[in-house]
Structure 1
Amino acid sequence: MNLPWVESPFFNEILKTKNLTEEEKQLATEYNKNGFVVLRNVFPEDVIDQVKADMNQKGFNEDFPVTVYRDKTRIQDLWQYSDSTKQISSNDTIMKTLEMLYDREPIPFQTLNFKFGSQQRAHSDTIHFSSIPARYMCGVWVALEDVTPENGAVFYYSGSHRMPEYNFAHIKDAPEDTTYNDYVQYEDFMQSIMNVSEFDKKFFYAKKGDALIWSSNIIHGGSKVEAEGSTRYSQVTHYYFKDCIYYTPMLSNMVTNELYLRNGFKNIKTGEPVQSNFNGHNITPISTGKDKSILNNRLDEVKKIMDLVKLKNKIVNKLFK
């Protein structure tokens, strides 16, 4: 089945066939049920402290030139300038755990480093990062300092990963293209879903070095920072998995199936560009203009046939004119 085995309806049957340790079985079972797992004290303190130093000396230092997005709260893709950030995202324990959970090679492709709590509203990562086959994506949030109710803990809705992957095809009445200017509509929609759901809202009061692995579709965000100015140093790494087609629903037209494909991104661990495919089968996207494409290898053949039909009609018209 084209789903990660930990999200498959056949999970319990598949689990019986796996050659896993008891600890791995427990992790997989928790992930299947809740949509997240916690790994305690994964990262050595010296690596964490170096990440924080790089954040301050490079990421949030306006005199240090970068070509990536940053503001006062976060910097995207600091790994391009920080070996310690890259080391966190490529950690052996994390990579092995992800490969066990997904049965595919994990591909770290984006980092977000936060100096302060994000205070981000409830959302699913699938609106930003999705794949075909579906759900081969996850996030790993790492505490670079202790988290308390004062500095804005991550929150999540346990079990919400089992919901549909909501996008603007569920929200808008017209089949129009969307941009990040429409994002607040998505946030409003997701909050309204959570308001009527039975999922428990939980807070991750992590200790320095702890990691939270979450499924692509679990609903999560950042809680309010109660103590103004208090830091909450943390790093999120987003991972895809090998042999998928990667795209962004937020910038796609999900009604007409015109996808904003994520092409040319790099595997943080290897530095190599990642090539999209469907379970090892290449599919050539066809541009529909601007920044969107459709996935249909047959369209070229259809065009050739139509050209032949036109040529035939032209010849027939000449013969019987």
Structure 2
Amino acid sequence: MGLENFLRGLKLTYVLHNFLNRRKLKEAQAAYRKYGLKKSVYTPVSHQEIKKQAISEEAPWLDQPNATERLLSQAYFQQLPAAWQDAVRQWPERGYLILKGLFSAEEVETINREIDRLVHEQKAEWRYVNKIMFAVRQSKAVRDIVHKPELEALLGFLLGKPVKLFQSINFLKGSQQSAHSDSIHMTTYPLGYMIAAWIALEDIDPGSGPLFYYPGSHRLPYVLNEDFDHGGNYFLIGEQAYARYEAAIKSVLEKQNLPQETFLAQKGDVLLWHANLLHGGSPVLDPQRTRKSMVLHYFAEGVICYHEITQRPALQE
């Protein structure tokens, strides 16, 4: 375990991994050229480095001034069902929206059966103890269900660019993860061009560790490696980088005193959130209860996509 942790913290490990997976870095190469970033896609990359070189571009349109006024005038928005219009209106101000019952009971049960099958057949790709990664790559049935044209059209509208699904994560239990922004894990340049969709795969109980989030926190400055002492250097990723990041976010929340909301979802409900919305998993009060859920992370097309915490470009299928 000690050797594995050392290798995970060694930036050279990722350089070699990137080279072996160079086929998955074609989009990164194109984005580097587009934004004038003069470096190899195999080597470490960070926001601090990118912003010194890259050609600047505007933030997502709904992060700009007068976003709500612009939103209401869009033909796409005007054609949405009334319930969706009500949900989308809150995006610029609150940084999230809820789509009730987007996935049918049958679709949810199919996803749950497929996850159970992957676990039973020992094909589930477990990471970080409680996360099942990339089920969309392992199950055509799951892939077909989550690729809803109406969902992806809405995500593209919110970002102002077409989106591409980057990864899926399934949870059987509550994550209990501390407050964080997904942009420390899945980062873009320009900032803000990642979006998440969280699907309730069962009715969520208060004791099962429901998702929590801080409305409006997406408007706070992004907290990236340059903003806290991550403990890394030219050769190594900081051994306690993520713990130090969580401490930095805790400090931000203590200073801002933002209200926290909890998502007590019904089966099939979907929560969409902004790349910088602070969120996490509540404590699991009843260890016997599950919290079956699936989160999908999407990158906008044509932007630089990478992982700030580990300083590596995103490998995209």
Specify the TM-score bucket, using the shorter chain as the normaliser. Answer: 0.7 to 0.9
- The answer to whether structure 1 residue 222 and structure 2 residue 222 are counterparts is no
> Any residues of structure 2 matched to 1:56-71 within 5 Å, and which?
56-58=116-118, 60-61=119-120, 63-65=121-123, 68-70=125-127
Q: Which of 70, 75, 85 is residue 14 of structure 1 equivalent to?
A: 70
Q: Which residue of 2 aligns with 1:104?
A: 161
Q: Which residue of 1 aligns with 2:98?
A: 38
- The answer to whether structure 1 residue 193 and structure 2 residue 289 are counterparts is no
The runs of 5 or more residues in structure 2 that have no matched partner are 1-56
Shift in Å, 1:247: 0.9
TM-score between both structures, scaled by the size of structure 1: 0.74
Shift in Å, 1:30: 0.4
Shift in Å, 1:106: 1.3
Change (3 A) 1:47 1:180: farther
The percentage of aligned residue pairs carrying the same residue is 28
| 17-26 vs 204-213, greater mean Cα deviation | 17-26
Shift in Å, 1:13: 4.6
Q: Which residue of 1 aligns with 2:13?
A: none
Distance 1:163 1:201 in 2: 15
Q: Which of 101, 116, 120 is residue 173 of structure 2 equivalent to?
A: 116
Question: Which residue identity lines up with residue 3 of structure 1 in the other structure?
Answer: A
> Any residues of structure 2 matched to 1:145-160 within 5 Å, and which?
145-160=202-217
Q: Which of 218, 225, 250 is residue 168 of structure 1 equivalent to?
A: 225
**Structure 2 residue matching 1:150: 3-state secondary structure:** helix
Shift in Å, 1:174: 7.1
Q: Which residue of 2 aligns with 1:250?
A: 309
Q: Which residue of 2 aligns with 1:290?
A: none
Distance 2:212 2:68 in 1: 28
Change (3 A) 1:89 1:173: closer
Aligned alpha-carbon RMSD (Å)? 2.0
**Structure 1 residue matching 2:165: 3-state secondary structure:** strand
The runs of 5 or more residues in structure 1 that have no matched partner are 253-259, 267-321
TM-score between both structures, scaled by the size of structure 2: 0.75
Residues 161-215 of structure 1: per-residue CA shift (max 9 Å, x gap): 0011101211118772535642111111111211221321000000000000000
Distance 1:45 1:5 in 2: 34
> Any residues of structure 2 matched to 1:68-147 within 5 Å, and which?
68-70=125-127, 73-147=130-204
Question: Which residue identity lines up with residue 78 of structure 1 in the other structure?
Answer: A
Shift in Å, 1:52: 0.7
**Structure 1 residue matching 2:256: 3-state secondary structure:** coil
**Quick check: 2:162–2:301 contact (8 Å CA) kept in 1?**
yes
Change (3 A) 1:71 1:135: closer
> Any residues of structure 2 matched to 1:211-290 within 5 Å, and which?
211-252=270-311, 260-263=312-315, 265-266=316-317
**Structure 2 residue matching 1:200: 3-state secondary structure:** coil
Change (3 A) 1:112 1:119: same
Shift in Å, 1:102: 1.6
Shift in Å, 1:90: 1.3
**Quick check: 1:106–1:241 contact (8 Å CA) kept in 2?**
yes
Shift in Å, 1:31: 0.6
Higher RCO (Cα < 8 Å, 6 or more apart) = 2
| Structure ID, larger Rg | 1
Q: Which residue of 2 aligns with 1:51?
A: 111
Question: Which residue identity lines up with residue 162 of structure 2 in the other structure?
Answer: E
**Quick check: 2:111–2:141 contact (8 Å CA) kept in 1?**
yes
Distance 2:287 2:296 in 1: 26
